[in-house]
Structure 1
Amino acid sequence: MAAADDNIVTLIQEVASQFQRSGADLQNIQKTTHDMREAENNRNEMMHDARTLLQKMSRNLQLSRSKGSRQHVDPDSLRHDDRMMEMDQQKFSIAKAIQDIDQDITSLEAEIHQLRMQSLELDSSYTSSSGGASSGASSAAAGASKSNGSSGGEGDGDVGDSDAGTNGASVRGRGGRNGGIDKDEVMLNDEEDILDDTAHAMAVLRLQLYRGIGIEMLENELGVYSKARIRSSSKNDVHLVKFDDQLSPYFQTNLIWEFAS
């Protein structure tokens, strides 16, 4: 029994001697630890690079998908959108041109009105001068009658003087009254003619402008514009729009512009 215990003690001592620390073992452990840390750092760097590459590839995939989806769009729809944009630009340019023409028409109307008023003033001054000349002629005729009356006799001369004076006054009074009434009537009639001519010229210009862009106004039996015939040069078709009081002017205007463009 004692021999067995000695053998166990000896065995334990031999095993313990095998596990004694040495400088070489410590160096090996430190080297292994350093290698493990380097391996972990390299692994982290590789994972970071892999994530970056994956994100880049994901972005490229999304771009490729978006490009592929755009390629499947109908070319006709794209051309339609471009055509609509072009037509909108044409509509705005035509509207601006119409506005400029309306401003020119207004300025020309004002100039025409001013010129006609100047013409009326000149005519009225000429009428006044003609009235003065006729009054002078009447006075001369009255004087001649007076001289003739005095040569015929004293009593007759008095009667002739009174008659000539009365006739001359009546002639001058009628001439002055008629001259004033005629002047006012002429100016009033001329102003009405100016307004009528201006309104007619404006209506004609607008109708010509509308017809130039393919819009023709049509009258009904009463002479009122109730329809519009629109010709589209781009589509080579004709549309007929009937003016309805139940529809808003904004809707009807947009409808006409859409058909015209």
Structure 2
Amino acid sequence: MLLDEDPATLIQHTIGNFNINPDKLAVTRINESLTALQQSRDLRMREAETALRKLSRNLKSLEANYDETVAAHDPARHAQEILELDAQKFRIAKAASDLEIESERLEGDLEMLKERLAELEAQGLEGDETVRREREADDATILRLKVYRSLGIDVEADDAGNYNKAIIRNSRKGDVHVVKIDPKFSRFFYANYFWQTMQG
């Protein structure tokens, strides 16, 4: 034989040395996020279309009411009634104008949603690589912050987004320590310091 070991054994060792579970979990999370995004987008599009149809019906109703009001207008009636009808006509015209503006705005929103849908469909199931990386980085940061909070540690960021202050609460002693995080000290140093502060 050309190999010292059985090929089946070599293949089993090779498979065993690869751990694809984190990748599979990441793909699952991405697929779930894409599904949720698709559902949210579809819901917003349906809501926008429903609102547009409702506004169109209201506009037609107002136009019909306006036509009836104009048809029933009698120039021989008292001048005060004429003024009231003019005021009502103005209100109806203003409402119709407002509805038309709102209808145009909703149509613009619908076009934006359609363009966004086209972009997402063009990206495919994997999505944009930059967006995916940013989402994974945000997920990791949020997870770390939750772990810190569960231990009684609140981490605050400055205006630049750098986490440079930690507030450590010792529930047994009932005291609070505020620690300025200096990058010249290692993470190991701060991990030990935080732990000693919580246990002290």
Q: TM-score range by the shorter chain?
A: 0.3 to 0.5
The structure having more radius of gyration, on CA atoms, is 1
TM-score by length of 1: 0.34
* Larger RCO (alpha carbons 8 Å, 6+ apart): 2
- Return the structure number with greater helix share: 1
- What TM-score results when the alignment is normalised by the length of structure 2? 0.43
